[in-house]
Amino acid sequence: MKKNLVSKNSVEPVKVFEGIYRKTLAYNGNIMLCHFFLEKNAEVPLHNHKEHQVGYVIKGRLRFFTENGDFIAREGDSYIFDSNVKHGAFILEDSEVIDIFNPVREDYK
């Protein structure tokens, strides 16, 4: 990436799954910031990845499921998934979240 400033309005959304859309924003060789739009009743299937993931719910409500149990994240909540931890989500209402990945997810560039 060559720019230090990326506006979410300048990035086209990428459909990840039905009802799940991602905008990859600023990143460098170590860390990546993504903005997700999640439609009510959409689902992110159980998966894992080598990157650590920290997230923040801007608006909405979603149920995360992991091998260690489920939890509901609401507006104002943050969450973290360590490297290779299996996780997924069911979207309870239209939501927006910010996710940060370390290291960078090559598949999200």
- Per-residue confidence (pLDDT) for residue 68, from 0 to 100: 86
Q: What is the pTM of this model?
A: 0.93
- Per-residue confidence (pLDDT) for residue 60, from 0 to 100: 98
3-class DSSP string for the chain: CCCCCCCHHHCCCEEEECCEEEEEEEECCCCEEEEEEECCCCEEEEECCCCEEEEEEEEEEEEEEECCEEEEEECCCEEEECCCCCEEEEEEEEEEEEEEEECCCHHHC
10-residue mean pLDDT profile of the chain (109 residues): values are 80 97 96 98 97 98 94 98 96 98 95
- Per-residue confidence (pLDDT) for residue 2, from 0 to 100: 53
What is the rounded average pLDDT for all residues in the chain? 95
- Per-residue confidence (pLDDT) for residue 1, from 0 to 100: 46
- Per-residue confidence (pLDDT) for residue 71, from 0 to 100: 97
CATH class of 37-96: mainly beta
- Per-residue confidence (pLDDT) for residue 84, from 0 to 100: 96
